[in-house]
Amino acid sequence: MKIFCIGKNYAEHAKEMNSEVPSKPLVFMKPSTAVLHEDKPFYYPEFSSNIHYEVEVVLKIKKHGRHIDPKFALEYVDEIGLGIDFTARDVQAECKRNGHPWEVAKAFDHSAVIGKFISKEGKDLDSLEFYLTKNGVTVQRGNTKDLIYNFTTIISYISSIFTLKNSDLIMTGTPAGVGPVKIGDHLVGYLGKEKMFECEVK
C-alpha cells in the first residue's frame, strides 16, 4: 500500500505558503508506515519544533490501474475519507531552501492520520465540504469545488506515472488555514457533518 499526496491543490493554501499554483499536479508520497489510524494519538517527533496539521480529503483506490482515462477515473474509487498530512514545517523549509527532497518533512512515521472511510454513493465529489477543529475551534474549512486539480485529473495523472493498486490512498490537498500543533491539542476532522477522525497530540 502506498499513499500519494497532492501539494498546493487549493489556491488559497498556495498563497499562504507564498507559492505559485503548480502547472500540473504536485505529487509526493508517504510510505505505509506513515499511517496513523483514526483515534490513535500522535506523538510529537523530536526532530521538529513546528509540526503543522493539513486536513485533506482522502480517496481509497479499489483496483489496479495504469494510464487511467479521465472518463473512467472515478470507477477506481468507491470510498472517501478524511485525514491529516502532518508536516514538519521547519524541516520542510530547510529542504526547500536547499532544494532537497521532502520525505523527512512529510513522510515520517505517523505523518498520515487516516480516518474512517464512507461510500462515495450519493455524494457530490465536486462539492464536498470538510473542516478541522483544534481544541473545539474550527481552524480549517474546505470544499472540493475549490480544488485546482479535481479527483478525476489527479487519479488519471498519478496513474500515468505510477501503477495504482487496491488500497492505495490519495490525499488530495489541503485548503488554507494550516497551522501548528502542540502537545495536548485535540484535532477532530469532519466531512460534511460526519466526524471522520479524532487525534490527540501527545
Residue closer to Mg ion (CB basis): 19 or 166? 19
Please report, as a single letter, which amino acid is at residue 36: L
Please give the residues from 157 up to 186 whose contact with Mg ion meets the rule CB under 5 A. Answer: 174
Grid coordinates representing 36?
496513523
Measure the CA–CA gap between 131 and 190, rounded to whole angstroms.
Answer: 5
Torsions phi, psi for 181 (to 5 deg): -115, 160
Closest CB 75 distance from Mg ion, rounded Å: 25
Burial environment of residue 155 by CB neighbours within 10 A (0 to 12, 13 to 18, 19 or more)? buried
Task: Please report where in the chains the cell 488500497 appears, as a residue.
Answer: 167
Residue closer to Mg ion (CB basis): 71 or 178? 178
Measure the CA–CA gap between 47 and 49, rounded to whole angstroms.
Answer: 7
Closest CB 182 distance from Mg ion, rounded Å: 20
Closest CA to 25 of 13, 7, 11, 4: 7
Closest CB 66 distance from Mg ion, rounded Å: 25
Q: Does 85 bind Mg ion (CB under 5 A)?
A: yes
Measure the CA–CA gap between 126 and 150, rounded to whole angstroms.
Answer: 7
Closest CB 6 distance from Mg ion, rounded Å: 7
Residue closer to Mg ion (CB basis): 8 or 60? 8
Closest CB 117 distance from Mg ion, rounded Å: 19
Please give the residues from 89 up to 108 whose contact with Mg ion meets the rule CB under 5 A. Answer: none
Residue closer to Mg ion (CB basis): 87 or 152? 87
Candidate residues 54, 80, 107, 128; the one interacting with Mg ion per rule CB under 5 A? 54
Residue closer to Mg ion (CB basis): 33 or 166? 33
Torsions phi, psi for 49 (to 5 deg): -125, 15
Q: Which stretch binds Mg ion (CB under 5 A): 79-87, 97-105, 114-122, 147-155?
A: 79-87
The footprint of Mg ion (CB under 5 A) covers 54, 85, 174
